[in-house]
Structure formats: C-alpha cells, structure tokens
Structure 1
C-alpha cells in the first residue's frame, strides 16, 4: 500500500509539473534552458566559451569565436519551429508513443512541423547511443540529414544509397542494436540462399533467424534488393519468433505503425525502439527533454 501511495504521488507530481509547464511559455522556456545549460552559465555552442556579450533579442555573441546565437542554437531543439510549450507537449506525447500524425492533430500544428520535431527527437536519441559516431557517419548516410547542426530533410538520391544491416542482441532484459561492419544487405540474401539462414519480410523490413551471437539480423530494403524473393509472411514463423526474443515482439507491432520507412531513416527507428525497450519501465519524458536539449554533434 505504501509503495502504491508513493507511485500515485509521483504521478500526481509529474502531472502537476507538466500542467504548469504547458500553461506558461515563460515557465516552459526556463525549464528547457535549464536543461540546456544545467548549473552552468550560457556558453557558446561552437567553442564552449562562457564569456559572452548580451545582445538585443535574447541573443549572445561569443567573445572568442564571435558566433552570434540564441539559447537553443546548435541544439536538437532548434529544429521544428515550435514554441517552448509546444515542445513540452510534443515531448510528452512522443514519450507516450504517439505517432507524428497523432501529435500534429493533438497540438493543432502541421504534420510537417510535427514530423520534423519528432525526427529531432529520434536523432537526439540516436546521438546518445554508444555507437553514435558510426551511426551518424557514411555507414548509414544519416550525416546527409545534418547541415550546420540543422536537419535538412530527406537528401536527394544519388543512386548508391546505403542499406545498413543491424544485429539484434538481447541479454538479461536489455537489447543492443549493433551496426554490422562486415555484412551488407546482399550478404543477408547470400546467407539465406547458401547457408539456409531463415528470413521473413514485413513490407520492406527483413528479419532473420539467429545469426552467430545475435538473436537476429535486421534491415530495411528498397527496390534495389530482390524483395519479392522473400515470401511475404502475414506474421513470423515460430522459429524466428522464438529467436527474436522479447524485443522483436515489442518492435514488430510498432513497425506496423511507421508508414513508409526508408533504408536511410531505418536506423533512427531502430535506435528509438532500443531506447524505448531498455527504458520500458521508466517515465522517459525527462530523459527525452535532456537529450533534445543537447548540442548537435559535428558530423562529416
């Protein structure tokens, strides 16, 4: 009973905090700025210098590199063009696992604005992964989405799009999604044809049976791959269901909600699901706020 009462108080405190933040743009901005700088004074997002000149319009100029910026410049939250209260509401809705379409309707904003803000959250989650440097590099093509720390939308096709393959490793209630270094999409078909590695296809997503230490290999294909080669299952076979573990059951139903996933954005969805699975017993709102307020890393 005592534990239940404590849990209820925490829920009530969170609800009161959220209500306070979304009712005042000033309160929401103070909350987000505090997450950007913590106990530190404002500092330059480019060179980290904290000796700044205060300009009109809530702007600063760095005394070292002369960069002029605002509180959210260079951070993930600087994408989407939303107000601070809209960001708070959007993060809460995203934490509750709502789609970009549902979020746009709830907030009364355009789908494009909601999608860009949700994409910022997904990038922010991926950027905190231990393999973020690889994931934001040429091996996935995600670096093409970033220009001067801003999201640029969908890159133009070059005819040689990267189709990364990931290994899914589940252990002791945790899941780890690894970018496979020496395996490409063609290798997966080769393993199936020559070594009888079982595959299933759900739309453009291909999922294998157990491979070496991994519960599965997973990738998102496009028309450059012989997708029709794989029989399209309405569900997964018992063997692959068993090898896929809890994560595959967790992820499979969510993949169905994501319309039109492409190979170059697939890593964002995978790392989001890794994050959600590993934090499935937590309220992730504060974690997401912390992530989206971080400075966008430099990418090549």
Structure 2
C-alpha cells in the first residue's frame, strides 16, 4: 500500500509529488506549466489547484482586517466598459469591495451593488468601531461617523483633490492594480471561479515576502483535499 498523503486524502498521487505541485503553484506557474513539470495530467492539476484555491479562500475569510487605519474602496473587474454606460455599477462588470488595514492586509468581497446599505453592512461587520476610516467621496460612505466610527477622512477625487500623507487610499488602490494585472492573464472568469482567483490574489498580496510554499502546505495539513 502506498504511503498516506496527508495533503490529499485517498489520493494516488504521492506526497512528494503533491509538494512539488504546491511549490510550483507558490511561484505562480499556470496549470499547463505545472502539468508539464510534474508529469501529471492537466485535468488532475486543475482539480488540485482548484481545491487549493478553495482552502486559501477559507483562510482569507478568517484573517480579514478589523481595526486601526482602514482604507475602503470599490473596484470593477471583467468586461471592458460599454460605450454610453458610466459610473459605479457599469454593466458587465463584477463589483468588488475592499478593506485595507494600513501596514497590514487586504480583505475583499464581491458585492451586487455599491449602495450605502451594501457597503456599510460589510464595514460594520468587519471593521472595529475604534478604527479610523479612509475613503473617497462616494456617497455610500456618508454617515460612518454617525454609526460610531471614531474618524472618517475622505479624498474627493472628483474635485481633483490631492491625497495627503495621512488622507489617502493608495494602499487598497495598489491591491486593485496588482489583482487586475494578475487576473488579466486568465482571459475571462466565471463569477464562481472569479471569487477563488480573487481570494488567491488577496492571499498572495497579504503574504508577499513570506514563504507561500510553506503557508499553503500548512493550510493543506489543517484541511486536506479529498
């Protein structure tokens, strides 16, 4: 009987081969490249990588930012802008809301719209009341101080207002740039698949400079694939 693989239960793939696959995933090779290097079937690689992304997404949900200096913003992913359709909620795009704890990590959530009720529900659920919030001038952020947040600073991009050293949302904007640059190579993703790719971006961004290989192995030891 082959030795048990603690990363993938009931798997015919060896533990050594699994570690090789995880190492290649950690350096951000795509499924075709991983299959070529490991000698595994492309469909097998896709299945394992999809499982890894699901575990990563669960880990991201558990380590969202909650306090301190927090930047909030929304961004739009997907289809190119349709001519004549403008503003927040442009047709054909997936809306993502993000929280960025300064000197810390980002948390993202796919949302149906940019309404005050939608965005403030997430803020109330994820951000401690002692936090200082930074945002742009979008009206959905009106009234955060009335909800009990200590301070709320805004940058009015529409009025060509320049960000200051303390009042800006450049942290979350840097994540948007990173995620869009990375995701464009997948050339279109279904919404369910997009969620897991987005969370992978979040995980890579939050743990930049760390050993992603060891982090993913730790996640898989805790919640193995099946």
Matched, 1:89 2:17: no
When residues 79 and 95 of structure 1 are mapped into structure 2, their CA distance, relative to the original with a 3 A threshold, is farther
Gaps spanning 5+ residues in structure 2: where?
64-92, 117-134, 142-168
After superposition, residues 194-233 of structure 1 pair within 5 angstroms as: none
Matched, 1:292 2:223: no
1:220 is aligned to: none
Shift of 1:284: 1.2
Which TM-score applies when normalising by structure 1? 0.42
Distance 1:251 1:79 in 2: 34
Matched, 1:267 2:195: yes
After superposition, residues 34-113 of structure 1 pair within 5 angstroms as: 57=1, 72=6, 77-78=8-9, 81-113=12-44
When residues 80 and 93 of structure 1 are mapped into structure 2, their CA distance, relative to the original with a 3 A threshold, is farther
2:61 is aligned to: 130
Greater RCO structure (CA 8 Å; 6+ sep) = 2
Distance 2:28 2:214 in 1: 15
Distance 1:80 1:287 in 2: 21
Secondary structure of the corresponding residue to residue 99 of structure 2: strand
Distance 1:265 1:249 in 2: 20
Structure having the higher Rg: 1
Shift of 1:129: 2.6
Gaps spanning 5+ residues in structure 1: where?
1-56, 60-69, 133-162, 192-208, 214-240
Shift of 1:290: 0.8
Q: Does structure 2 retain, via aligned residues, the 8 Å contact 1:81–1:113? A: no
Secondary structure of the corresponding residue to residue 57 of structure 2: helix
Shift of 1:293: 1.9
Q: Does structure 2 retain, via aligned residues, the 8 Å contact 1:100–1:114? A: yes
Which TM-score applies when normalising by structure 2? 0.54
1:170 is aligned to: 100
Distance 1:279 1:104 in 2: 25
When residues 78 and 282 of structure 1 are mapped into structure 2, their CA distance, relative to the original with a 3 A threshold, is same
Aligned length: 149
Distance 1:166 1:174 in 2: 19
Shift of 1:71: 6.2
1:253 is aligned to: 181
- Which one of the candidate residues 96, 109, 118 is aligned to 1:179? 109
2:152 is aligned to: none
Q: Does structure 1 retain, via aligned residues, the 8 Å contact 2:55–2:223? A: no
Matched, 1:121 2:49: no
Distance 1:118 1:170 in 2: 27
When residues 173 and 111 of structure 1 are mapped into structure 2, their CA distance, relative to the original with a 3 A threshold, is farther
Q: Does structure 2 retain, via aligned residues, the 8 Å contact 1:79–1:117? A: no
After superposition, residues 274-285 of structure 1 pair within 5 angstroms as: 274-285=202-213
